[in-house]
A and B are shown apart, each in its own frame.
Chain A
């Protein structure tokens, strides 16, 4: 079974530029999560989708971050404009249907450096 795919793996941009990350979850998984992991910290949930609807985006900085999950499969996360403090690894995860006792499966992440 293929895992969660993410691209690109690495991205370097200058502040105020925009950037987009892509995620393809495990086939059949209805729930998709985007996390931000700053160096030395645990992952922080940015947004959670159930199919193509948003379940939780309470920690998403909506003035600069946006995410969508068209057709309930792939998802993109965008940052516009980027700030220095956005330098982090962006992790995508998926689970079968988002139940409280399910396992989340994580992708390899996209490492973003903002200069």
Chain B
């Protein structure tokens, strides 16, 4: 079953613009991760935010987490054509081992 629901399902922007994707989930989590998938490089881990963190940055990526609303957002600033990919949020439940549940994904197209 899919835990996370991403919104929007698809997003098309011009190069240089910012892209924001949202993820909502249903159960309590240990952490939330974002992954990128494109045909060239497969599924790649981008960033992890712990349940006690509210915001995290990595390069042009900014992730927020609101555990009270069970939601997260991924912001990509100054987008590039190379950012064209599908982005998935993945929740990790507490339980002693890493059980990752992926969301449905947002397909991002960055137009040069």
To the question of whether A and B form a pair in one complex, the answer is: yes
Nearest A residue to B89 by beta-carbon distance? A42
User: CA of A33 to CA of B88 in the docked complex: distance in angstroms?
Assistant: 17
User: CA of A87 to CA of B98 in the docked complex: distance in angstroms?
Assistant: 26
* Choice from A41, A44, A98, A109 contacting B97 with Cβ under 8 Å: A98
Q: Per DSSP, are chain B's interface residues mostly helix, strand or loop, or mixed?
A: strand
B67 close to chain A: CB less than 8 A: no
CB distance from B48 to the nearest CB of A (A): 6
User: CA of A91 to CA of B45 in the docked complex: distance in angstroms?
Assistant: 14
Near B by CB (< 8 A), chain A positions 30-50 give 31, 33, 35, 41-45, 48, 50
B31 close to chain A: CB less than 8 A: yes
Counting chain B residues whose Cβ lies within 8 A of the other chain, the interface size class is 20 to 34
> Which residues from chain A contact B88 at a C-beta distance below 8 Å?
42-43
> Which residues from chain B contact A35 at a C-beta distance below 8 Å?
102
B78 close to chain A: CB less than 8 A: no
Task: Count residues on chain A whose CB falls below 8 Å from chain B CBs.
Answer: 27
Supplied contacts A44-B2, A56-B97, A99-B97, 7 more A-B pairs, CB within 8 Å: A42-B88, A103-B45, A103-B48, A104-B45, A106-B42, A107-B42, A108-B42
Q: Which residues of A contact B (CB under 8 A)?
A: 31, 33, 35, 41-45, 48, 50, 55-56, 91, 93, 95, 98-109
